[in-house]
Amino acid sequence: MLRNLRLALGKICHAAPLRFCKRRYVAREPFQALNRCPKWVCVEDAVKIINSEHLVFIQGGAGTPIELVRSMTEHGVCNNLRGVRLLHMNLEGDVPFANPEFQKHFRSISLYVGANIREAVNDGRADYIPVFLHEAPRLFYEKKIVPDVALIHVSMPDARGYCSLGVSADCTRAAVCTAKVIIAQVNEHMPKTYGDTIIHLSHFDFAVRYDCPLPSVANTQPNEIEHEIGKIIAQRLVDDGATMQLGIGNIPEAVLHALCNHKDLGIHSEVLGDAMIDLVENGNVTNRYKIKHRGRMVGSMAIGTKKLYDFLHVNPIVEMLAVNYVNDPRVISIQPKMTAINSCIEMDITGQVCSDSLGCKIYAGFGGQLDFIQGAAKGQDSHGKAIIAFPSVTSKGESKIQPVLKSGGGVVVTRAHVHYIVTEHGVAQLFGKTLRQRANALIQIAHPDHRECLEKAAYERLKSNPTKYL
């Protein structure tokens, strides 16, 4: 019987029994772990364990435990804590610890920089770790990062005491495995999802009951240019039966709207969003041809509106899995006709892609862009497509295709990785092309107002006419 219980727990965790729990419980028998209860406390008492110089992991995205973050900030300021380091991915909601007046108390360390942390990073009051998302869990498992405390956000426990990390598996599973103390905000609004999100109450040191709606993040409606880009991608680059990865934003939204006549699409994506639900409910997404997780859509985090969170709740066709699996290029490459669609800040005429910075100013992060670009480009069925899509000009009218990247701009996707580039003016296929051929192809899909300047700049840079002898 004991052996059977161990095997059952192992299957739940996709690993050896109780390997998902914090280190000091690994040696415990399953009976002991399952019979142990967390200490239910008010939020103010829960965060008292945080002290100066502690490293605190905070679950991110729509799973940000906003109430724990608020109380932790008050605790740190009122008790004059110094040097508390806060490790996290993109956080939603208020992040009061990032205010300039609190910099002696807290220092944020981002694995991906969100809008609410961006100013602090660029002012030198916060830090950023450049990392491919599929490698982020390694920082924990290889003990390069060992959190003293993990602040997480979970669903209500079921009859057996199991909770769910809900909308955020990503690297939270790895942090929970290695943190010395786990504090959970238990929220009836957190959807219960399947996959690497399952965690038992017995592994929490402190549990706080605080019910509040999850952050609602709704995209604005795509404009005419974005809709045109979506149509070009859907009509020319996405096949029936393709497995899709899309980020969050207006262009992915426009692409999804344009896929309403496609059949048997699959979803294997780092982020799940609202627009995907419409395709599922419309019958466009069936996941029937996926090699792995056939019949199910796979994600690592989800962010959107209540419509999305309600769809995820106890839905057996959705698996939320750790980011070191979902974003692994080897896993991605197995999916049939894998089509990855991402955007960027700017690109140079040779195909170098900047996605994480505006010049020297950090804007976002590496995220999973190159993970999926590599995986799609190496598709084992030779039908994968790695796509970078963006409007030809910025909101200020500047060309997004530039002779050279802005000084200090970070290259997230190298010119060797780039395959398909899409603007509202068409598609440039760069794989296997020379620098001169690349420049010519990109100039053809740049805004007409900027093409002459780009041709002159290409001649200066490449020492020959990009359109001659092609």
Question: What does each of the 470 residues of the chain score in pLDDT, given as a tens digit?
Answer: 444 444 444 433 433 333 333 333 333 333 334 456 778 999 999 999 999 999 999 999 999 999 999 999 999 999 999 999 999 999 999 999 999 999 999 999 999 999 999 999 999 999 999 999 999 999 999 999 999 999 999 999 999 999 999 999 999 999 999 999 999 999 999 999 999 999 999 999 999 999 999 999 887 889 999 999 999 999 999 999 999 999 878 999 999 999 999 999 999 999 999 989 999 999 999 999 999 999 999 999 999 999 999 999 999 999 999 999 999 999 999 999 999 999 999 999 999 999 999 999 999 999 999 999 999 999 888 899 999 999 999 999 999 999 999 999 999 999 999 999 999 999 999 999 999 999 999 999 999 999 999 999 999 999 877 776 55
Give the span between the Cα atoms of 417 and 411, in whole angstroms.
11
Angle CA(438)–CA(256)–CA(350) in degrees, nearest 5? 10
Residue 7: what pLDDT?
41
The pair of structure tokens assigned to 287 is 């996941």
What's the pLDDT score for residue 36?
63
Q: What is the pLDDT of residue 465?
A: 78
The CB density around residue 403, as the number of other CB atoms within 10 Å, is: 17
- The two structure tokens encoding residue 239: 């096949």
Place of tokens 């701009």: 409
Distance from C-alpha of 463 to C-alpha of 283, rounded to nearest angstrom: 52
Compute the radius of gyration of the chain from its Cα atoms.
23
* CA–CA separation, 201 and 64 (whole Å): 19
pLDDT of 425 reads 98
Q: How far apart are CA 22 and CA 202, in angstroms?
A: 11
Token reading at 410? 């970070």
Question: Alpha-carbon distance 117 to 108, whole Å?
Answer: 8
Q: For residues 215 and 402, give the distance between their C-alpha atoms in angstroms, rounded to a whole number.
A: 36
State how far the Cα of 375 lies from the Cα of 379, in Å rounded to an integer.
6
Element (H, E) at 428: strand 426-429
Element (H or E) spanning 301, and its range?
strand 297-302
Q: Domain locations in the chain? A: 39-209, 224-462
Check for a shared fold between 39-209 and 224-462: yes
From the list 401, 396, 375, the residue with the least C-alpha distance to 387 is 375
Q: Does the domain made of 39-209 have the CATH classification 3.40.50.170? A: no
Torsion angle, alpha carbons of 249, 244, 369, 230, to 10: -40
The pLDDT value given to residue 468: 62
Question: Whole-angstrom Cα distance, residue 423 to residue 450?
Answer: 14
The SS3 of residue 296 is coil
The pLDDT, as a whole number, for residue 464 is 79
| Pairwise CA distance, residues 17 & 336, whole Å | 33
Token digits of residue 274 = 């609202």
Task: Fold for 224-462, please state it.
Answer: Glutaconate Coenzyme A-transferase (3.40.1080)
Kindly state the tokens that stand for 418: 């780039």
HEC profile of 260-328 = CCCCCEEEEEEEECHHHHHHHHCCCECCCCCCCCCCCEEEEEECCCHHHHHHHCCCCCEEECCHHHHCC
Nearest to 58 by CA among 215, 220, 176: 176
Which phi-psi region, left, alpha or beta, contains residue 104 (left: φ > 0; alpha: ψ -120 to 50)? alpha
pLDDT at 28: 32
**Residue 312: which H helix or E strand, with range?**
helix 306-312
Q: Which of 367, 327, 377 is nearest to 344 (CA)?
A: 367
402 C-beta neighbours (distance < 10 Å), count = 21
Q: Which of 46, 6, 51 is nearest to 30 (CA)?
A: 6
Mention every residue, 6+ apart, whose C-beta is less than 8 A from residue 441.
421, 428, 429, 430, 433
Q: Alpha-carbon distance 463 to 389, whole Å?
A: 28
Give the length of the chain.
470
CA dist 116 and 332 (Å) reads: 31
Tell me which residues are annotated as active site. 270
Strands (E), 60-210: 84-88, 106-110, 127-128, 149-154, 162-164, 181-186, 194-195, 198-200, 206-209
Backbone angles phi, psi at 246, to 5 degrees: -140, 150
